[in-house]
Amino acid sequence: MVKEGERMKKLLGALILFLLTSLTAAYAGFDFSGYLKNETSLRINEFNGDLTKFKNIVQLAGEYQFNEDLALFSKVRYWYDAMYGFRDEYDAGQRYQGHVQRTDWLRDCYLDYNNGPWFLRLGKQQVAWGQSDGIAILDRVNPFDLTEYWLQDFEDLRIPLWMANLNYAPRLNSNLQLLIIPDFEQSTAAYPTAPFVFYSTSRYENWRLAQNEVDVNIHYPAKRFENSTFGLQWSDKIGDMDYTLNYLSGYYYSVRNYTILVSFPLRRWKVERSFKRWKMYGASFNRTITNEGPLQGTTLRGDFAYYDDEPMYWGNPITASSSGIKRLDNIFWLIGIDKYVVTNWLVSFQFAQYILQNSKPGATTSAANYYFNPYTYGPQDPQENIFSLKISTDFMNERVKPEILWSLTDDNQGRVSPKVTYELKDNLFLTLGIHYFYGSLFDSNGQFRDQNQVYGNLKLTF
Amino acid sequence: MKKVFLTCALIALVWGLGYTAELEYFQVHKPQAGMSADEIMQIEYFTKYTKFARDIELNGKAYFIDKSGSVRERSTQRIRITLGRKSDDVAYKDLVTFTSPQVKGLGSLTWTYMNPKKQQDSWLWVPSLKKIRKISAANADDSFMGSDFTNEDILTRRFEDETYSLIKEENFAGYPCEFDKKTYSKDAPCFVIECKPIRSPWYYSKRVLWVNKNTGAGIYEEMFDSTGRMFKTIFKDYQIYNVNGKEYPAQVMLEVKDMRSGHRTVITNSDIKFDQGLSEDLFTERALMQSRW
């Protein structure tokens, strides 16, 4: 039965490819593109070469331009991670991480309408706000897929949502964007036993399995218009500087378990997960210094966000159990500097601060009470200082592209990720790289210190 | 008082001369007999950056060929609007979108200013981020999008960056193109001009440029390093497009050879359209944001 299903999928893939090729030949307004990709990674901590990923991906995107003003665009992606089939210890994750889940195969599906100052994009899509690179400060319109931590490209990290994206340009270089998002998805984390499972998720799973019975109740937002997420962005220029003003109101995409022991009629555990509303006010800017002088060619960029009523969970990070929730007003800001030095070496530096509202987490004064990071549920400092440095260049007419990223926080934890991409031949790319994590087991990056890996990606575009 | 008046008059004259040196936009300028090297080169730059046309649209195809003969291809769609606008100093704006699968959707918006000392502003639509990144201007001697051209060759070199001297006038011997094995521009009447960069040291010590007398277009150049050794040649084939009674010279094929690496780049331009009345709205971040790929 399984083999039959696999055969059907292959046949379906071939049919789609044939259909797209035929459409391109038949209609001038039709265009398509895609890729086949293999991602393989090996854990290197114990130098025994544990396979931690063998993911095969096929992506197809097609566009049909009805006329100058109207276009339909769709992107589908299917993937299968054979590693879960190869290794017994990953069996538990097979169902959730071995292949594409639910409707995640549909990455984009929208209609674009352009008319003078008006632009409308209606359908499943992702919207990126802000100027930060690799840190989601204003980039909170879509939830995130963190099943591979923050290692994927942001296009792959964002979970697309069905929305109406309306834009109006009252004058040249300005734009008012209104987002109405009736769709809701939660940010996802890796399933227990997966390589990049968060420490807190593993702890919870161990605890759950140790109980006779646990009632898990997840309270999703009811499907009503008033439960939609609403976003507003104003973009404009002041002199040489681009700036945006942002506002977002909706349900927070991450949620933490709240565990209660119910004694009557039978002693059993009840786990509640309830999504909360929050608001974000923000602004961003960028400016390249173009005038003559020592700073000429330097780009400055920044994000500022004020999170109103951000749901923060607190508890003991060692047991990873949540003792309660508090709604805090937090600040997250970033400044970034980019400059080319010595011909084609691009150096990008970022500094960010995530500042929690001055409030004690719980009723107790125990040192074991910490706020949890909204994504990883590891302990969150009241003030987190984050740094990142990226250096990239190219050789052989951009055929070889090396890059190194070092991101770290003031807790002496971080990640170093060097990689090099080589264009083997036209349309065929090989990427080799390393992810090296360090820090405490309870820190965002440190929790993966046993997951250091070497990886290789082979990508064929068409 | 008289001295002040004379000084003011002199400043006004110099200022005025400065402006007359800037060729009038949206006109076709051709070299005339007896012109100086500076005058010829002003026309050459004007022609190169298509300042005669209000806008241009074309499809480009680039072939990167290494010395073993291995070929990598990139295709682009390019639009430019010429503004020559003194109020905000914008000379022209370019939007280049990659249409080939390797980097499909990658888009680059560039604003070039009239002030030669001012660097360009550039924005990039990065498909892997699905967002626009303001980018630092790449250094002038960096490769232009992986080709054997530098950014300066294609985008940033200005008339003010070099000094010029007329070496001779001759009929061009013809360029034997390695890409399609044809011989181009044979016997085209040319000015031969030596161009020396003001910036020193720089990645070239001089270039010798053949400028077509009929069009003002630079068709062939040889670049020399600090030891006087030729390290790069560039050939550009121009065709004349008749647009509303005006003759517009347009680059249809470019071949550049790097003698040091044995690498070549060939760019072919097709579907060239001038003066379609493109709106400046197409050259904004909002337009870049509408990229679907």
Residues of chain A contacting B276 with CB distance shorter than 8 Å: none
Instruction: Kindly list the domain boundaries of chain A, sorted by start residue.
Output: 1-108
Closest CB to B285: pick one of A35, A114, A235: A235
Q: Where are the domains positioned within chain B?
A: 2-289
The residue to which tokens 């109006």 are assigned: A168
Q: Is the CB of residue A35 less than 8 Å away from at least one CB of chain B? A: yes
Distance CA(A251)–CA(A227), nearest Å, equals 8
pLDDT for residue B20: 38
pLDDT value for A378: 81
Whether A128 sits inside 8 A of B139 (CB atoms) is no
> Cα–Cα distance between A409 and B66 in angstroms, integer?
43
Cβ contact (<8 Å) for A426 and B73?
yes
Contact list in A for residue B113 (CB cut-off 8 A) is: 290
Q: Does A323 touch chain B (CB under 8 A)?
A: no
Which fold would CATH assign to domain B2-289? Answer: outer membrane lipoprotein receptor (LolB), chain A (2.50.20)
Q: Point out the residues of chain A with pLDDT beneath 70.
A: 1-27, 46-49, 360-368
Per DSSP (E only), the strands in A93-144 are 106-115, 118-125
How many angstroms away from the CA of A52 is the closest CA of chain B?
A: 23
Nearest CA in chain B to A109: B292
Give residue B9's pLDDT.
47
Would the CA dihedral through B181, B186, B188, B192 be positive or negative? positive
Which pLDDT score, from 0 to 100, does residue A333 have?
A: 98
HEC secondary structure over A263-299: CCCCCEEEEEEECCEEEEEEEEEEEECCCCCCCCCCE
Average pLDDT over chain B, rounded to an integer: 90
Query: How near does any CA of chain B get to the CA of A326, in Å?
Result: 32
CA triple A138-A144-A147, angle to 5 deg: 145
Alpha helices in A211-362 (DSSP H): none
A119 with B139: Cβ contact below 8 A? no
Number of CB pairs, chain A paired with chain B, less than 8 A apart = 138
pLDDT of residue A204: 84
Q: Do B134 and A301 touch (CB under 8 A)?
A: yes
Task: Profile chain B (293 residues) by mean pLDDT over runs of 10 residues.
Answer: 47 39 88 94 96 96 94 95 94 94 92 91 92 85 89 90 96 95 96 96 96 96 96 97 95 96 96 97 94 91
Residues of chain B in contact with residue A338, where contact means CB-CB under 8 angstroms, are 135-136
Across A193-344, the runs of DSSP E, i.e. the strands, are 214-219, 229-238, 241-251, 258-262, 268-274, 277-288, 299-316, 321-341
Nearest CA in chain B to A114: B290
Nearest to A299 by CA among B152, B119, B151, B142: B119
CB neighbours of residue B270 within 10 Å? 10
Q: Is A239 on the interface with B (CB under 8 A)?
A: no
What residues contact A381, with CB distance under 8 A and at least 6 apart?
A: A356, A409, A410, A411
A119–B281 C-beta distance less than 8 A: no
Identify the residue among B85, B88, B102 best suited for mutation to test binding to A, counting A beta carbons within 10 A and taking the highest.
Answer: B102
Q: What ipTM, to 2 d.p.? A: 0.89
Spatial contact of A329 and A357, defined as CB atoms under 8 Å apart: yes
Nearest CA in chain A to B152: A343
pLDDT of residue A19: 66
Which residues, other chains included, contact B246 with Cβ-Cβ below 8 Å and sequence gap of 6+? B28, B52
Predicted confidence at residue B241, as pLDDT, reads: 96
- What per-residue confidence (pLDDT) applies to A23? 64
Q: What is the dihedral of CA B35, B40, B46, B50, to 10 degrees?
A: 100
pLDDT at A88: 75
Residues 6+ apart with CB under 8 A from A266: none
pLDDT of residue A53: 92
CB B90 within 8 A of CB B51: no
DSSP B54-98: SEEEEEEEEEEE-TT--EEEEEEEEEEEEEEETTTTEEEEEEEEE
Global pTM? 0.89
d(CA A108, CA A110): 6
pLDDT of residue A207: 85
